[in-house]
A and B are shown apart, each in its own frame.
Chain A
Amino acid sequence: MARITVTVNGADHTDEVEPRLLLAHYLRDKLRLTGTHIGCDTTNCGACTVLCDGLPVKSCTMFAVQADGREIITVEGLATGGQLQPIQQGFKEEHGLQCGFCTPGMMVAATALLERNPDPSEEEIRWALSGNVCRCTGYVNIVKAVRWAAQAMQEQAAPEEPATRQPATEQAATR
C-alpha cells in the first residue's frame, strides 16, 4: 500500500491505496465521484478525462499514486455554488449530448481548451477534443456547445475585466 494525498475539486484527500489502483477507480469507488466515466479498456475513448494540475489527462491510464501531490479537477468540480459553468450550459443549450456517456470527459477537455484559448475556432475545438470519442452526436453539436461557452464566457468577462483571461473555475467564484 502507498499513502497519497490528492487535492480533488479543491479538497485534500489522504488515503492508503494499492499501487495498481487506477486514478479513475480511486475517484469513482473511493471518493464516489462517479461523474468520471470509464468507457474503454484501451485508453482510447477519453470518457475518463480529468484535469491534473490544470491539464487534461486520462484517469484510466494513470495510477492513483501518480496523482500524489497533484491537483485533480473532475466534472463534479466544474460547477461552483450550484451554478452551471458556461461549458455545461453550452452542452445543454446546443444539445451537445445524447446518451451523455462521453459528456463529462468532453466538458473537462473543453474547459482546459477554453482556459488556454478563450476564442477557439472549430478546427481548434476538434483538435483539442480529438482524444474524446462520442458514439452518438457526430460531434457537430459538441463543437457548437464549446463555441456557445466561449461566447458566453467572453460576454461575461467583457463588462468587468476586458483583457484578463481567468481560469473558468475562478471566474465563476469571482462573478
Chain B
Amino acid sequence: MRDVGYLRVGDTAEALTAAARPGARLIAGGTELVNLLKERIEQPDLLVDISRLPLTDITVGPDGLHLGALARMSDVAAHPEVRSGYPAIAQALELSASPQLRNMATMGGNLMQRTRCPYFRADHDLPCNKRRPGSGCSAIDGDHRAAAIFGASESCVATHPSDLAVALVALDAQVRTTARTLPARDLHRLPGDQPHRDTVLDHGEMILGIDVPVSPPSAYLKVRERGSYEFALVSVAVAAETSGGVIRTARAALGGVAPKPWPLDVDLAGVPLRRDELRAAIAPAFAAARPLPGSEFKIELAQRAVVRALTKPIGLMGET
C-alpha cells in the first residue's frame, strides 16, 4: 500500500475543504476503502477521516426515517423502529457482509462501495475499463456469471453490490449531500463509455444523510450462493400495500442485475397476489434484459424472486 496522509476532521466544513483537494478521499468505516488501497485500486494522497462527525442519527418520525451518513449498518439493522416500519432496510443491512464489518461500516460508505467484479478486484493487472479506463473489459469474454442484465454497456457489465441501495430505491428514499438532495435511484450511474464513474457525485461531495418517506409494508429478499456472508446473485426489495389478496400499490427494485439498483418499472396495482398473475404482470419489465451467456439465468431467477418477495408474508423476509 502506498503511503498516504491522514486528517481527522472535526466538522463538516473542515471535511468539505479537505475533501475538495485533488487526491483526497473520505474515509468513514474504512471497510471498503482499506481494501481499495490494499489492492491499489485507489491511491489517494490524503485520507479525510469523517468517522467522528455527528452524523450517526437514526430517527423515525411522522415524516419518515432519517439516517445520518455515519450511522453504522449494525445500529440501523438493530433499530426497533427501522425493523418494524422499514423492514426492507433492516433486512438488506442484516443480510450484508459480516457482523464485524457491519459494526464498522456506515450508510454513506455502503452506498459508495464499488463493484465486486473479480477483474476489477484482481491483484494483478487485467483489462478493466472501470479500473484502468481504456484497457478493455475482461468480464465480457471471461467470467461474467455476476454480470448485469440491464443497463450494461460495451465497456462494462459490472453490477453494483450494495443491498442497502436496492432497499432505498424501492422505498423511494432521497440522498442528501453537501451539494444537493437527489432520489436514491439517481445516485448511481450507468457505465456508458465512462465506467470508472460509479455515481453522479462530484469529487469532494459528501453524503450527509438519507431520508425515507413513511413506507408501506416492505421486505428484502436476497438470493445468493450461500446462506450468509455473500453478495447477492439477485435481490429484490418490495414495498407494497395489499388488500384482499390484491396489490393496491407496489414499488420494487432489483439488485445484482444492473450497474445500479434497478427499479421494476411496471404498474402492479390491481394484480392479485398469485404466482401466474404476478409473473404475467412483471414480464414486460424483463423484455429489455440483455444478458451475456453466463448471466442469462438471472432473468428467470429475478422474476421468481420478485414473485416470492410479494407472496411470502411481507416483513418476514430474509431467510433464503
The answer for the CA separation of A61 and B74 in the assembled complex, in Å, is 17
Contact mask B27-44 → A, CB, 8 Å, 1/0? 100110011011000000
Q: Cβ of A57: which chain B residues have Cβ within 8 Å of it? A: 100, 103-104
B residues less than 8 Å from A109 (CB atoms): 99-100
Chain A residues within 8 Å of B101, by CB: 43, 58, 61, 131
Does A20 contact B4, Cβ atoms closer than 8 Å?
yes
Judge if A66 is at the interface, Cβ distance under 8 Å: yes
A136 to B257, CA, bound (A): 35
B3 interface residue per 8 A CB criterion: yes
Q: Does A49 contact B (CB under 8 A)?
A: yes
Give the CA-CA distance A49 to B35 in the complex, in Å. Answer: 16
Instruction: State the Cβ distance, A110 to closest chain B Cβ, in Å.
Output: 11
- Cβ–Cβ contact B30 & A62, under 8 A: yes
Q: How far is the CB of B161 from chain A (nearest CB, A)?
A: 13
Q: How large is the interface on B (under 10, 10 to 19, 20 to 34, 35 or more residues)?
A: 20 to 34
Nearest-neighbour CB distance to chain B for A113, whole angstroms, equals 9
A148 within 8 Å of B by Cβ?
A: no
* Cβ-closest chain B residue relative to A43: B35
Decide: A43 near B31, CB < 8 A? Known: A2-B6, A19-B47: yes
Q: Are the CB atoms of A127 and B35 closer together than 8 Å?
A: no
A104: Cβ under 8 A from any B Cβ: no
Q: Is the CB of B229 within 8 A of A61?
A: no
Q: Are A18 and B3 in contact (CB under 8 A)?
A: yes
Do the beta carbons of A46 and B34 come within 8 Å of each other? no
Q: How far is the CA of A127 from the CA of B227 in the complex (A)?
A: 10
- Complex: how many Å from CA A127 to CA B97? 12
Cβ contact of B6, chosen from A41, A55, A65, A132, cutoff 8 A: A65
Q: Are A56 and B99 in contact (CB under 8 A)?
A: yes
Q: How far is the CB of A125 from chain B (nearest CB, A)?
A: 12
The B-contacting residues of A in range 56-73, CB under 8 angstroms, are: 56-58, 61-63, 65-66, 68
Among B4, B5, B31, B47, point to the contact of A61 (Cβ < 8 A): B31
CA gap between A98 and B63 in the complex, in Å: 54
Residues of A within 8 A of B35 (CB): 42-43, 61
A66 touching B4 in the complex, CB below 8 Å, given contacts A128-B99, A130-B228: no
Residues A130 and B229 in contact, CB atoms below 8 Å apart: yes
The answer to whether A22 has its CB under 8 Å from any CB of chain B is: yes
B124 CB-CB contact with A under 8 Å: no
Q: Which residues of B contact A2 (CB under 8 A)?
A: 6
What residues of chain A lie closer than 8 Å to B51, measured between beta carbons?
Answer: 66
- Point out the residues of chain B lying under 8 angstroms from A132, CB to CB: 98
Interface residues of B (CB under 8 A from A): 1-6, 8, 27, 30-31, 34-35, 37-38, 47, 49, 51, 74, 97-101, 103-104, 123, 228-229
Give 10 A-B pairs besides A41-B38, A46-B98, A62-B34 with Cβ atoms closer than 8 angstroms: A20-B4, A43-B35, A57-B100, A58-B101, A62-B31, A65-B8, A109-B99, A127-B99, A130-B228, A131-B97
User: CB within 8 Å of B: which residues of A?
Assistant: 2, 18-20, 22, 41-43, 46, 49, 52, 55-58, 61-63, 65-66, 68, 109, 127-128, 130-132
Closest 4 CB pairs of A and B: A131-B98, A19-B6, A130-B228, A55-B103
